[in-house]
Chain A
């Protein structure tokens, strides 16, 4: 997974994850750690109206782009639709100048 912040750290045991009512894939599932991280890191609240994404019927689909994890998010309360990107380091490619 591209999240370098966790590289080298021991994998979090399922029992140590914060309480969460959501079901996870079985521990032996192929990419269980990625599914666990998705559950922990997906946006919980709308960046526009602050409504809970989950309780207002929204959805956040995670996709990866290079080293970034991007959450394409739709808020069911206000209709905001956009990408929420978690940065570990902000990199900017300079134009010729």
Chain B
């Protein structure tokens, strides 16, 4: 349970807020490379501010500036993109990648005027088929190359915009018990009601859970009924990656669940997967496959016959911003309390002029993250359930992914047999 002020402090992400100041120290995916195949600009919203993201015509360099021109606030998204910046379509004021005004066509050639107006600007880069942006203070950190985004394999990414604050989604990630209830007990109930078999691996009871602070966030561990601390679920675990990801995986699937805080009541939610099962064979993709997944039906009801749909129901039905003055936490919510402490701790670091957790200043190729290979002791069933009973069921390459895993499994079985 928190106070009104604490809840607001943890959930408000706009400019000038403590959480907004912390969150602005990180890079966020905000668009797909393919969004710029036919148009050079796009309006994007991040941390309660609107931005113009643009791509230069020849070099393909990306830039990001605040959407409204400092002249008379027209949208720069409807401007002209040059190799060295963007020009407002309204009166031709031109801005470079750092937000400096370099031309004011209708004004006297007055350096003093140009130097007195500056547009807010960030940094933009491409990784994993997505355009990532940083809109915080200089010096910008390195864009963290977490393994899922750069490892070899078949990439698949579902996305949707959810009408709720990002923090209540993050708290779900340090709440392991919900798996056996929401994805186990409730999923089984939905299956019985609608006439299908829910996956059994999610129904195993938790015997023990653990939360450990680590360099990227909080490492979660669990011992399930029938298992022990020798299983991957405890021995390896998987991390909540501060401040807006969760890393999951198993059976040759590695996934980053990404929660981009668009504003106080909106989150852009992506499930970015890499499929590389041992023994599998695949062709290199030009780009990941991106697709929208669905979470409400035609009658406006939550779609809860798949795993992520159940999560989304739980997140969105709490309200646009969860009222934590009205909650009643139990011992099983210790991870949730720990996450709130981590946010407070890092807000304080930023206020003191320090880098928050997860800031990368060194150039690097890949950041590996711990993650179970054998998930829930489910082996082959886990990969199939993850694809057919998760958001990947909406993927245009769903069948190819199933075939990839089935073929890889068959190859491994043959190899084991011949050995």
Contact = CB atoms under 8 A, between A and B. Distances in A.
A65 B341 contact: no
A31 to B, nearest CB: 5
B351 to A, nearest CB: 7
B9 to A, nearest CB: 9
Contact of A63 (B4, B326, B329): B329
Interface centre among B6, B337, B338, B348 (most CB of A within 10 A): B337
Contacts of A29: 325-326
13 contacts: A22-B4, A23-B3, A24-B325, A25-B326, A31-B326, A34-B328, A38-B2, A57-B344, A61-B1, A61-B341, A64-B328, A64-B329, A72-B334
A86 to B, nearest CB: 14
Given A29-B326, A63-B337, A39 B3 contact: yes
Interface in A46-81: 57-59, 61-65, 70, 72, 74, 76, 79, 81
Contacts of A24: 4, 325
A43 B333 CA distance: 19
Contacts of A25: 4, 323, 325-326
Interface in B55-93: none
Contacts of B330: 63-65
Interface in B309-347: 323, 325-326, 328-331, 333-334, 336-338, 340-341, 344-345, 347
A34 B336 CA distance: 19
A76 B3 contact: no
Interface in B1-36: 1-6
Interface size class of A (residues with CB under 8 A): 20 to 34
Nearest to A61: B337
- CB-based closest 4 A-B pairs: A63-B329, A61-B337, A72-B337, A74-B341
A31 B1 CA distance: 11
A35 interface: yes
Given A24-B4, A63-B333, A74 B345 contact: yes
B5 A22 contact: yes
Given A35-B326, A38-B1, A59 B351 contact: no
A22 B344 contact: no
Interface in A1-40: 22-25, 29-31, 34-35, 38-39
Given A25-B323, A72-B334, A35 B1 contact: yes
Nearest to A24: B4
A23 B5 contact: yes
Interface centre among A24, A62, A63 (most CB of B within 10 A): A63
Contacts of B329: 61-64
A62 B331 CA distance: 10
A38 B3 contact: yes
Contact of B345 (A31, A63, A72, A76): A76
A62 B5 CA distance: 15
A62 B330 CA distance: 8
A76 B4 contact: no
B325 A35 contact: yes
A34 B345 CA distance: 26
Contacts of A34: 1, 326, 328
Interface string B284-295: 000000000000
A61 B328 CA distance: 10
A81 B341 contact: yes
A80 to B, nearest CB: 11
Given A38-B1, A64-B330, A72-B337, 12 more contacts: A22-B5, A23-B3, A23-B5, A31-B326, A34-B328, A39-B3, A59-B340, A59-B344, A63-B331, A63-B333, A64-B328, A65-B330
A81 B336 CA distance: 14
Nearest to B352: A57
B217 to A, nearest CB: 16
A61 B333 CA distance: 10
Interface in B345-376: 345, 347-348, 351
A58 B345 CA distance: 8
